Amino acid sequence: MSGNIELLNTTLAAAKAADRAALIAYLPAGFPTVDGGIEAVKAVVAGGADVVEVGLPHSDPVLDGPVIQTADDIALRGGVRIADVMRTVREAYEATGVPILVMTYWNPIDRYGVERFTAELAEAGGAGCILPDLPVQESALWREHADKHGLATVFVVAPSSQDARLATITAAGSGFVYAASLMGVTGTRASVGAQAQDLVGRTRATTGLPVCVGLGVSNAAQAAEVAGFADGVIVGSAFVKAMLDAPDEAAGLAAVRSLAGELAEGVRKR
């Protein structure tokens, strides 16, 4: 079975054709439970998310701040496994029909086996992977299997990336480019900053791929600001915090659905 890279491409193209940015939501698998995590994906899509990133919980998530680290810890203590991540992708995709990617560090894939991971992700209906710590120059094996199985390979670029480096990264990627809005880890911030707009402009000069911005967006006003210059707005910590702050799972699902609605409205006010 082939993965859903084409669904991702058409979804991002449809948002562009509608003269708006896409809303991309991030939620970790297994948080607060495996079943609860699947329901959370359904909730953000019901609220207006166009694409969802399912996080593969990791004990040392170097790109992620304390909010997502807390959720990852809950998921890991709950016994989440890669099989649960695949189940989350499958059930979320079947229920929503939107592109579902996995965001993961490289070590779990390396241990699991690249061929096994890509085959299972494609079979589950996944659209691809975001790989924040896989160097492009070491990515040939991954890209070979991802291409074979119809999966996008999304690399992360940062404000510190020089133009030549950007060109190397974007030439190797597919689906979209994940532009980290600032140096540092994920988390909500008062301002997304001008660095992001500069990075998007420099990245676009190297590629025709959509450029989507993450790190720091937490409300409709920030989503609208970023949507003014990016092809997609990526929100993670704000959704996870809404779940963490809720008194129970039902309240958490209602909170993330409501937040997705506000953010979806924001990306349409670019």
Structure tokens at 240: 């996870």
Q: Do residues 168 and 203 touch, judged by C-beta distance below 8 A?
A: no
Q: Do residues 200 and 229 touch, judged by C-beta distance below 8 A?
A: yes
Residue with tokens 């929100």: 235
Active site residues: 53, 64
Residue 201 CB coordination number (10 Å):
11
Structure tokens at 135: 């160097």
Taking the C-alpha atoms of residue 40 and residue 166, their distance in angstroms, rounded to an integer, is 34
Q: Do residues 235 and 193 touch, judged by C-beta distance below 8 A?
A: no
With left for phi above 0 and alpha for psi between -120 and 50, is residue 214 left, alpha or beta? beta
Question: Across the strands, what pairs with 24?
Answer: 51, 234
